[in-house]
């Protein structure tokens, strides 16, 4: 498939994941520096590491303690591969513990900001000031070094906050350079990649575009590809990319599930069909989906019902196209991470209906050209292809659609006010200039939370809706948007005044983690 395999020949940094909540941020920061990287589980084998042919290896942080029996360890080949190694937090403690040093519970645990004082010159900190603000998150610490390691930097609570063995190309930092709280952390990662690993390639979307087009052509050959288009950024960019590679041999199917937002179907027909000139067919299956969802309140059951129904409809339409061997999906890296524990000892958060494989009866091979990309990288790739800014700037919309924004059983009576409220929210965000400032905004309806209100001279007992707006870079973490109070007041006033069946509007001020972005 044209994802990681198409990039095998390129330089890359390999990140071994020990379960840190920040592992994905390491990848994000390196890619922002135009350094291509991939993530593998901490237990990656010698064969997997050799196949990756990395220019360098990063050992991520993790929640375990290296002095605990059975704690995660990498394959010893990591230190025999002859490439530089950077250990971050738990990764640094592994460097120490596996090479004659000692790691013990810290006398004083360190969480939050700290000042790093550099004690010696090191290529890892080249051209950086002698004192740096860094972010700490650890309960263990190195107590003794051995086998050529020396101390490069310290903080008030961590005397071994940065270490190195430059002869071997091994470096360790107790802090997290990947988080924004470490003010010059990206410079540290850049020094590791460019100065220490001698990483020369510049991984850009323009270079990816050409390699992916070639990879798609190599995979598909003279075959045909069928693609499920949602009208969102991911599937649209995937379809446009594949269309550029194989032209009209790509067949796009847009399924109206009855769970779309106001205007979604019309925009798909206009932008995808007429403007991008994709080979597009629209199928109205709203009665099927709503019928199967009737009375179903459990969110995971709703997702599974929608996923199964979608496959059925899509399979039926795909069978009408003769000679189709491939299915295109706009799967992204975060989808894979959240759906399957493919990296470190991380938990499955919730299922995504477009990840995890297809029913065997479909017998189609997957084409997933975006599988290794984060959302902002997909948008950059879309700009390279020439997709409109309006489509690329659209907020993420989940595959199950409005079904997971109705908390409880889905019905046409609840979808109608939800669509109307969501449309008002988007209209006011665009009019105020806030739509492009936030990552994602939407409305949730709470049918089980009905409240008393007064409208005119009458007492009402109607639905509550919640506005959810978050700021994020890739959807892995998010903070609630600080929308102006006047804007929220206007949105609330319009919803209560114009949407029948709603008399109360609330605003969600929780971040991810601990909450997820979607409510279900």
Residues annotated as catalytic are: 89, 176, 178
Q: Which of 279, 281, 276 has the alpha carbon at shortest distance from 256?
A: 281
Note whether 464 and 484 are within 8 A (CB). no
Number of C-beta neighbours around residue 463 at 10 A: 23
**Sheet strands (E) in 209-341:** 224-229, 250-256, 280-284, 324-328
Is 450 exposed, middle or buried (CB count within 10 Å of its CB: 0-12, 13-18, 19+)? middle
How does DSSP classify residue 512?
B
Number of C-beta neighbours around residue 159 at 10 A: 14
Q: Which of 79, 83, 90, 116 has the alpha carbon at shortest distance from 20?
A: 90
Is 127 exposed, middle or buried (CB count within 10 Å of its CB: 0-12, 13-18, 19+)? exposed
How does DSSP classify residue 60?
-
For tokens 């799967």, the residue is 331
Residues 6+ apart with CB under 8 A from 4: 38, 371, 372
Q: Which of 101, 17, 88, 5 has the alpha carbon at shortest distance from 53?
A: 5
Note whether 107 and 147 are within 8 A (CB). no
d(CA 349, CA 20): 15
Q: Which of 13, 23, 25, 32 has the alpha carbon at shortest distance from 377?
A: 32
Q: Which of 422, 435, 441, 427 has the alpha carbon at shortest distance from 502?
A: 422
Note whether 442 and 425 are within 8 A (CB). yes
- Please provide the distance, in angstroms rounded to a whole number, between the alpha carbons at the two ends of the chain: 31
Number of C-beta neighbours around residue 468 at 10 A: 23
Note whether 141 and 172 are within 8 A (CB). no
Token duo for residue 66? 């290296």
Note whether 265 and 282 are within 8 A (CB). yes
> What angle, 0 to 180 degrees and rounded to 10, lies between the N-to-C axes of helices 299-318 and 286-293?
150
> What angle, 0 to 180 degrees and rounded to 10, lies between the N-to-C axes of helices 412-432 and 485-498?
140
Residues 6+ apart with CB under 8 A from 361: 315
Note whether 238 and 227 are within 8 A (CB). yes
d(CA 233, CA 389): 10
């Amino acid at each position: 498939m044209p994802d990681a395999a198409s990039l095998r020949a390129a330089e890359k940094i390999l990140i071994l994941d020990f379960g840190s909540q920040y592992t994905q941020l390491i990848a994000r920061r390196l890619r922002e520096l135009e350094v291509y990287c991939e993530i593998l589980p901490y237990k990656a084998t010698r064969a997997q590491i050799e196949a990756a042919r990395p220019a360098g290896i990063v050992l991520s942080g993790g929640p375990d303690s290296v002095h605990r029996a059975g704690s995660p360890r990498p394959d010893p080949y990591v230190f025999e591969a002859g490439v530089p190694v950077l250990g971050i937090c738990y990764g640094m403690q592994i460097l120490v513990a596996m090479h004659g040093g000692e790691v013990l519970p810290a006398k004083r645990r360190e969480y939050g900001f700290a000042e790093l004082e550099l004690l010696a010159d090191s290529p890892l900190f080249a051209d950086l000031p002698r004192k740096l603000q860094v972010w700490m998150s650890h309960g263990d610490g190195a107590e003794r070094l051995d086998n050529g390691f020396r101390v490069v930097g310290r903080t008030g609570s961590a005397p071994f906050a940065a270490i190195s063995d430059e002869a071997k190309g091994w470096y360790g930092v107790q802090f997290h350079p990947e988080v924004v709280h470490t003010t010059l952390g990206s410079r540290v990662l850049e020094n590791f990649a460019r100065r220490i690993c001698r990483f020369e390639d510049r991984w850009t979307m323009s270079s990816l575009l050409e390699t992916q087009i070639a990879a798609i052509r190599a995979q598909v050959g003279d075959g045909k590809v069928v693609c499920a288009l949602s009208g969102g950024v991911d599937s649209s960019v995937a379809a446009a990319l594949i269309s550029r590679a194989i032209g009209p041999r790509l067949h796009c199917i847009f399924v109206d599930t009855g769970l779309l937002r106001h205007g979604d179907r019309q925009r798909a027909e206009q932008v995808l069909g007429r403007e991008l000139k994709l080979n597009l067919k629209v199928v109205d299956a709203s009665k099927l989906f709503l019928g199967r969802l009737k009375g179903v309140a459990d969110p995971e059951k709703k997702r599974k019902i929608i996923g199964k129904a979608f496959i059925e409809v899509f399979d039926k339409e795909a069978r009408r196209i003769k000679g189709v061997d491939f299915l295109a999906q706009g799967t992204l890296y975060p989808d894979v991470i959240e759906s399957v524990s493919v990296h470190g000892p991380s938990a499955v958060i919730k299922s995504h209906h477009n990840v995890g494989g297809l029913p065997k009866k479909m017998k189609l091979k997957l084409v997933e050209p975006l599988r290794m990309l984060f959302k902002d990288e997909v948008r950059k790739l879309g700009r390279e292809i020439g997709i409109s800014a309006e489509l690329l700037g659209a907020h993420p919309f989940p595959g199950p659609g409005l079904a997971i924004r109705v908390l409880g059983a889905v019905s046409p009576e609840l979808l109608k006010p939800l669509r109307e409220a969501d449309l008002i929210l988007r209209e006011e965000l665009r009019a105020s200039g806030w739509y492009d400032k936030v990552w994602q905004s939407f409305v949730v309806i709470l049918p089980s939370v009905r409240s008393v209100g007064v409208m005119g001279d009458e007492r009402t007992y109607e639905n509550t809706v919640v506005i959810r707006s978050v700021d994020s870079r890739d959807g892995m973490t998010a903070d609630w948007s600080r929308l102006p109070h006047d804007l929220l007041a206007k949105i609330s006033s319009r919803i209560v005044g114009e949407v029948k069946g709603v008399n109360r509007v609330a605003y969600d001020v929780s971040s991810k983690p601990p909450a997820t972005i979607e409510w279900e």
